[in-house]
Structure 1
């Protein structure tokens, strides 16, 4: 009895992203252990989807993680642990895999035994990865992307049809009354962190579950940072800093000096840019060809793994996790409102007469707690009094994407814009994916999360 009292009662699950492995979340795991200690928090860095297994899709990945969590809970129980609380952290595509696994845990009754405490994602594409901007590169990205990442690509670009629903899996994940939304809504704290620049993998609108992008010109904007976490974490309630007089402008310049220095590194003369252009002309076509060939191989292997999994030959009984995704029978309750939309849709923004403008708070749903059952349920605490008093044009997203945003915002998330200045690869820097000096600002992100969003 005494020994059990000294063992952790809180399980925290870390789920890595595409092409990832548990080491990508090593800094996050280390920071958690240093803050809370192994006698208070048990950390599971999910490893069943490591490497090329992430090609196999969100559904299969979610089943693997759910199986891994259930196995871990069983082993911990045998070792004398009494796990009472559960937290889940997802990075990049791992946030979607985590949401699928949470739905399965809900369906299996685990949240009647455990208290879901914290759900957090870092740079996760909750609204998919389709580019909402115009141009040939965006068109190629939207068309070729789903074809180079096997099932995961199809699901993140929302060109798949999940089982017999006829809808993309990401739409099903956000369907009201589904096991996925019911499970997600049970968590006491829900938060997302998204990069505002230099994250080409998962741009701000999808990581922050937003219909707008308030950060189209960050270099010429004076942001209002959260005290103690500047100049990285932007205040979600007031993005833009109040006007200051000339005497204070020097401080603003100091805060943006690192960004200026970074820009200068790339704004060099034509002669110095020559090697870069040579690299683009000579090396990129070869690399792209090799990448596409490798994608064909990995897609073939992924399809074989999916087939083995569905036949029950991969170590997991698939029927155990193929539970109904709807908690209640919704037959006839709603019509199929999802449309087949061309992936190269334009324009970049919707027109004003199409209700194309909105303040960021009204559409971002910055709420810490689940909505109440009162008249204004579903609105954020700041929805009726926009902090910045600025309206932004709605991005040209698809009907499915707007529905996903509305559904997820209805249960409420705390949303933190992240401004990484020192690294061009902000997608990796946000969680300090490797020990690089240029990724040091990610430590501020993790510290903010531990200080404000991770409750033991």
Structure 2
């Protein structure tokens, strides 16, 4: 362990036994703590760029990069991960208080699974009375699967994905695929985490600003509908749309108020062009197909073997935790829940595409609508198509054609009843949702936070720059 130093980044610890990393402020009067939480299979180094950029942009901040949930410890579930992070935050606040620095404000940032761990942790902090002492300011998630990672598709290969995927990541896998029964609720943890009466939603609602950043393409770990808390995916065919960006952050951060619009005078490709495009696509898949046939079986065996070992070790850690032998008393954070009363996994997930509800289901939703109007959109979307068609028939030149209107409305995804309830509850709290279009790399899940300092991840720096511009100190 390295000695404590106010000047260092991502290497200091407040106590050699507590394992907490912090980017500390040079100002003794700093009163704002920002906590960063990494994702599945992650470690604090994944958040180095975020932490460094935050420190340079706001040197008056204390920044804690949570460390206790690193590596294979992320198999242990959102609940245990949240308890570990909560303990780190509380110990950091206590250490800062002992050094004469009183923290008055709190911000929390979660990446991937870390966003769910962070949502659990703030519920514990809220219940323990910390929000009576601290002002919750910013809560942000990057590529976090708020609705889980199950695929709504039919077919045997999708069923295999949902069954195996949920059972290869120990407790975290069962929770991400929503097949767990959390404590005595009889419900998945993610459902409880989004219950309007839960301490978790109560805590989330306390934050002054809530925002999320969601990749629209090439996120091999968490697709858009779940990271963007959305019942639709407007970005299935980006070539058919004009994408509108936030000024100054083109062509990466998409305007959340007007994300897409119809392309004007878009011509259909000729038969020759379609044939050429089809041939090119087919040929381009030959090397990939060869790779899958040769290497996926080997990779799958290694992945499943490692998952079996890690699941066994995870169960052992959870048992020790329950027995109070893992450094945190099991009863310390077992609070009332309600306020009343890596690569093979990524490639398998990335192979899934979207399926939609039938005409008798939830209907169409507009991609440009605000979260608060989602329910109204579901009821009125079909009417909007009919009205535009009538206007065109009446000779209203200003009215969009039926074809244009339909391009801007997208079918509702075939999610579960619980996932729709999660969307409604989370949207009621309110978020600023920023779709992110990373073009230059096929691993946008890592690029969105610049997980490593690589040229191919430079578009992620635009995302981080935008986040910092909206971060309130």
Alpha-carbon offset, residue 127 of structure 1: 0.4
Are the structure 2 counterparts of residues 230 and 134 from structure 1 closer, same or farther at C-alpha, using a change threshold of 3 Å? farther
Quote the residue 2:173 is aligned against.
153
1:426 alignment partner, one of 421, 435, 444: 444
Deviates more, 1:430-439 or 1:353-362: 353-362
Are the structure 2 counterparts of residues 219 and 137 from structure 1 closer, same or farther at C-alpha, using a change threshold of 3 Å? farther
Q: Is 1:354 aligned with 2:361? A: yes
* Residues 103, 179 of structure 1: 8 Å contact kept: yes
Q: Note the residue ranges of structure 2 that are not aligned, 5 or more in a row.
A: 1-24, 268-276, 342-352, 385-403
Root-mean-square deviation (Å): 2.8
* 1:15-30 matched pairs, under 5 angstroms: 15-30=37-52
Q: Is 1:303 aligned with 2:325? A: no
2:338 alignment partner, one of 291, 304, 326: 326
* Residues 31, 103 of structure 2: 8 Å contact kept: yes
Quote the residue 1:414 is aligned against.
432
Are the structure 2 counterparts of residues 412 and 366 from structure 1 closer, same or farther at C-alpha, using a change threshold of 3 Å? farther
Distance in 1 between residues matched to 2:146 and 2:319, nearest whole Å: 26
DSSP 3-state at the match of 1:222: strand
Alpha-carbon offset, residue 284 of structure 1: 1.3
1:227 alignment partner, one of 247, 251, 260: 247
Q: Note the residue ranges of structure 1 that are not aligned, 5 or more in a row.
A: 250-263, 330-345, 368-377
* Residues 4, 80 of structure 1: 8 Å contact kept: no
Alpha-carbon offset, residue 351 of structure 1: 1.6
Q: Which runs of 4+ in 1 moved over 6 A?
A: none
Normalised TM-score (structure 1): 0.83
Q: Deviations over 1:352-390 (max 9, x none)?
A: 2223212235573499xxxxxxxxxx999xx99x9x963
Q: Is 1:75 aligned with 2:95? A: yes
Alpha-carbon offset, residue 43 of structure 1: 0.5
Normalised TM-score (structure 2): 0.80
Quote the residue 1:441 is aligned against.
459
Alpha-carbon offset, residue 82 of structure 1: 1.2
How many residue pairs get matched?
A: 404
Quote the residue 1:254 is aligned against.
none
Q: Is 1:280 aligned with 2:292? A: yes
1:138 alignment partner, one of 148, 154, 158: 158
Are the structure 2 counterparts of residues 366 and 347 from structure 1 closer, same or farther at C-alpha, using a change threshold of 3 Å? closer
Distance in 2 between residues matched to 1:173 and 1:118, nearest whole Å: 19
Distance in 1 between residues matched to 2:251 and 2:186, nearest whole Å: 44
Distance in 1 between residues matched to 2:370 and 2:190, nearest whole Å: 19
* Residues 210, 363 of structure 1: 8 Å contact kept: no
Quote the residue 2:19 is aligned against.
none
1:167 alignment partner, one of 171, 187, 202: 187
Quote the residue 2:147 is aligned against.
127
Quote the residue 1:13 is aligned against.
35
Q: Which has the larger radius of gyration?
A: 2
